[in-house]
Chain A
Amino acid sequence: MVENEPRSSAAVAGEGRRWFLRGAAAAFSIPGLILASAFVGFAGLAKASGLTVVETVFMTAVVWALPAKVVLIGAILSKSSIFAAAFAVALSSVRLMPMVVALVPEMRVEKTRPWVLYALSHFVAVTSWVLALERFRDVPPERRTIFYAGLGGTLVAGNMTVVTVVYLVADTLPPAASAALFLLTPMYFLTSLWGSARESAAHVAMVLGLGLGPLFHVLVPGFDLLAAGLIGGGAAYGWHRFSRRSRPA
């Protein structure tokens, strides 16, 4: 019986490679394609903001989450200090923490080494997270880390390529096309943020943030994002507490 024989290390490695490739293949999907179009918009934004191509690709690799990168570029444009920029980016990235909290128990088996989970957590952003939670049910638990490495690694490397190519050809685009390209990022966020909300407080927060952002941009330039986040988010949380208390038990 083949199943009862101890498996050779080559067979184990072969199976690992197979699950890595399946993860990589999962990146080529509708959500992956939409994400790539948002990175097309990001490359245009970074170029218009005066970043070099190396800085833009470096930022894609080390930050990865698109909202964090857009906040970072916003902070660079408004000449924020490195500390104010870090604070704004950290606020925009808080959402990654509960996402990782939700993903880790799905990937961890008894023999999983912690450093593997820390390394893989870098790939967590909306698209890879949604894809992973959707596909994990077809992946055996002990293969999920290698599957996620294939998925996340392909998304990051693929979009680093997209960013490089778009940055280099952006100047040759007609103005209508490059203006349309700048609309991709806000539309991707507008729809994906609405769709990923867990509780209605997030929808309230989103509506308030959409209104307060431009208002504070005019009133308190430099602190617009922080003020809109703290005031809009705080009010939405207050609404959440209030509506829960007033709901009949």
Chain B
Amino acid sequence: MSFDSIDAWWWPFLFILVAGWLATDSWRFLGVYLGGRISDDSDILVLVRAVATALVAAVIANLVMFPGGALAATPVPLRLAAAAAGFAAYLLLGRKIVIGIAAAEAVFIAGYFALGL
């Protein structure tokens, strides 16, 4: 029952609805239901946020280490250096997302051409 295991036009959409829409909007609807009834700093929410954060962080690291498309053809050290430089610039220069992204892209593109890729 994976994304391409049923050969019908509606299957990918059903897959996205169940694994995407239902899996995300359930939490949003539960949030409306609980709105005002649950304390934002309760211990269970700290655990929930920690698990969710580690999971998304794993996604981020995998996107850099095992990417798809054109990024897959570039060397791992270049990708790691670009990501590290972007994150360092973000932390050191006022925690602005736009600075982190711009620094990572600048290092990546400079390295891309310096390596003659």
- Known contacts A86-B18, A186-B60, A205-B53; decide if A97 and B2 are in contact (CB<8 Å): no
Cβ–Cβ contact A82 & B56, under 8 A: no
Nearest residue (CB) in B for A216 is B58
Q: A187 an interface residue at 8 Å Cβ cutoff?
A: yes
Of A55, A71, A95, the residue contacting B49 (CB under 8 A) is: A95
- Known contacts A68-B24, A82-B15, A100-B35; decide if A209 and B54 are in contact (CB<8 Å): yes
Which chain B positions have C-beta within 8 A of A87?
A: 23
Cβ–Cβ contact B20 & A62, under 8 A: yes
Cβ–Cβ contact A100 & B90, under 8 A: no
- Chain A interface residue count, Cβ-Cβ cutoff 8 angstroms: 113
Q: Could you tell me which residues of chain A, from 23 to 73, have a CB within 8 Å of some CB in chain B?
A: 30-31, 34, 37, 44-45, 47-49, 51-52, 55, 58-59, 62-65, 67-72
Q: A10 an interface residue at 8 Å Cβ cutoff?
A: no
Cβ–Cβ contact A70 & B63, under 8 A: yes
Query: A41 CB to closest chain B CB, in angstroms?
Result: 9
Most buried by A among B1, B29, B63, B79: B63
Cβ–Cβ contact A100 & B79, under 8 A: no
Cβ–Cβ contact B1 & A81, under 8 A: yes
Nearest residue (CB) in A for B20 is A63
Which chain A positions have C-beta within 8 A of B56?
A: 67, 71, 92, 95, 189, 193, 209
CA–CA, A216 to B79, complex, Å?
A: 19
Q: A165 an interface residue at 8 Å Cβ cutoff?
A: no
| B43-57 near A? 1/0 per residue, CB < 8 Å | 101111111111111
Which chain B positions have C-beta within 8 A of A207?
A: 57
Q: List 30 A-B contacts (CB under 8 A).
A: A45-B63, A48-B70, A63-B20, A74-B62, A75-B19, A85-B3, A89-B19, A93-B23, A94-B52, A95-B53, A98-B40, A98-B49, A100-B28, A104-B35, A121-B28, A121-B32, A122-B28, A176-B113, A182-B67, A183-B83, A183-B105, A187-B86, A187-B87, A199-B46, A202-B53, A209-B60, A210-B60, A225-B59, A229-B52, A237-B47
- Known contacts A63-B16, A82-B18, A176-B112; decide if A190 and B28 are in contact (CB<8 Å): no
Most buried by B among A44, A93, A179, A230: A179
Q: Could you tell me which residues of chain B, from 58 to 94, have a CB within 8 Å of some CB in chain A?
A: 58-71, 73-74, 79, 82-83, 86-87, 90-91
Query: B79 CB to closest chain A CB, in angstroms?
Result: 7
Residues of A within 8 A of B (CB): 30-31, 34, 37, 44-45, 47-49, 51-52, 55, 58-59, 62-65, 67-72, 74-77, 79-83, 85-105, 108, 114, 117-118, 121-122, 124, 175-176, 178-195, 197-199, 201-202, 204-214, 216-217, 224-226, 228-234, 236-237, 240-241
Cβ–Cβ contact A190 & B48, under 8 A: no
Cβ–Cβ contact A233 & B51, under 8 A: yes
Which chain A positions have C-beta within 8 A of B57?
A: 193, 205-210, 213, 228, 232
Which chain B positions have C-beta within 8 A of A199?
A: 41, 46, 49
Q: B30 an interface residue at 8 Å Cβ cutoff?
A: yes
Cβ–Cβ contact A30 & B51, under 8 A: no
CA–CA, A81 to B15, complex, Å?
A: 9
